[in-house]
Amino acid sequence: MELVGVQKTLSPVLKAKALDNRLPAPILGDAYAEQTMRRLDPGYDRGRFGASQVGLAAVVRAKALDDWVRGFLADHREAVVLNLGCGLDARVYRIDPPTTVDWYDLDHPPVIELRRQFLPPRGHCTLIGSDVTDLTWLESVPRGRPVLVIAEGLVPYLTAADARLLLTSVVDAFPTGQLLFDTVSVSACRASKWDPLGRRYNAQFHCGFDDPAALADWHPRLEYVDEAPMNDSPVLMAKAPAGVRRLYRLMNLLPGFRRSSRILRFRF
Ligand SMILES: C[S@@+](CC[C@H](N)C(=O)[O-])C[C@H]1O[C@@H](n2cnc3c(N)ncnc32)[C@H](O)[C@@H]1O
């Protein structure tokens, strides 16, 4: 099955994770990303290696989310995990949750088809091929247990109305849990119209927030917890190659760049 539109956005993120794994001291260290990227695009590393590592901020995001996931699962060994817009990311293999955890990886059907081809099956991990905004998928997931929702690189591609309905529906469906996701700023959302990669994939952002902590107002049970740094992350500054660090230092001087992407944690 061929990927179309927003489904293609999984590839630059996967490429960043693959390139990270080849650094002497990787940020994420995901061998699956390298193997999967090679199968998706055997010549993915033919271009200028240094320049393509600009995507390392997305790797920082994956690492921050992984750390939160590990923390949550240490306290909730009977949790249900909903990894929404999973792409070809190998989080379930990186985290290796106990068998008491039920994990769901959801993405559009062609992406799930690719996952089946590229990544091995795993007990207690169910693949759901669906548009995340068609909430009938939520009926196939067990209720009554703590839930962890991870939406990495997904929310900006939804409309604000769809994102709100998705997140509030999850809160309504479970007794307790956490929501981990990233958002972009209003100006980053507007600018995405001109982003060459987005134009090439015909995949633009549809929602942006300058005060994402206020999304807690979407549901009376929802509470903002905290944010993890991304574009100015100490991990990025410590581990990225010198050229990439210099570039981020410069870009972080631009008004609005540092907080153009935010990694957020909410609980209920
Ligand atoms: C930028 S990629 C991120 C992939 C993965 N989470 C990662 O970080 O490697 C965005 C993913 O969200 C998926 N996606 C976007 N809109 C979606 C929707 N409405 N329903 C299901 N998946 C969606 C795309 O197909 C794509 O795989």
Q: Whose CA is nearest to atom 14 of ligand 1?
A: 85
Interval between CA 154 and ligand 1 midpoint (Å): 5
- We report the CATH number of the domain holding residue 247 as 3.40.50.150
Q: Which residues span the domain enclosing 190? A: 5-267
Look at strands 261-267 and 177-184 and give their pairing.
antiparallel
Domain total of the chain: 1
- Pocket perturbation via mutation, ligand 1, pick of 1, 10, 150 by most ligand atoms within 8 A of CB: 10
Q: What is the pLDDT of residues 194-235, one digit of tens each?
A: 888 778 888 899 999 999 999 999 999 999 999 999 999 999
Please work out, in degrees rounded to the nearest 5, the angle formed at the alpha carbon of residue 52 by the alpha carbons of 202 and 12. 35
Q: Report how far ligand 1's centroid is from the alpha carbon of 242 (Å).
A: 30
Rounded to two decimals, the pTM is 0.96
CA angle 27, 264, 99 (to 5 degrees): 70
Establish whether residue 182 lines the binding site of ligand 1, counting it when its CB lies within 6 angstroms of any ligand atom: no
- State residue 222's pLDDT score: 98
pLDDT digits (tens, 9 = 90+) for 88-100: 999 999 999 999 9
pLDDT of 78 strictly over 90: yes
pLDDT digits (tens, 9 = 90+) for 163-189: 999 999 999 999 999 999 999 999 999
